[in-house]
Amino acid sequence: MILSLRHGPVPPGRRMFEVTAAETIRLAQAHDLRVILKYDHQDGLLGRPGVTWTRLAFSKSQNAAQRRQQ
């Protein structure tokens, strides 16, 4: 599973909720997912001040695969 978290000011007319990468990783781990990529970067494409991104990639943990085989 791959996802992007947007951090920064909320544009007018939009609704967003602040979620940290750490919180997302903890939730994923609770569902037998392990983080295989965490990449933080500035908003380079549109150059919006104060906007940053966290890209996360997860894989099913080996323990989950082993439990399914039992």
Domain residues for the domain of 58 are 2-69
* Contact partners, residue 21, CB within 8 Å, separation at least 6: 5, 38, 40, 54, 56
In a 10 Å sphere around its CB, with 0-12 CB exposed, 13-18 middle and 19+ buried, how is residue 56 labelled?
Answer: buried
Residue-level pLDDT, tens digit, the chain, 70 residues: 999 999 999 999 999 999 999 999 999 999 999 999 999 998 777 778 889 999 999 999 776 556 666 5
| Single pTM value for the model | 0.77
**Domain count of the fold of the chain:** 1
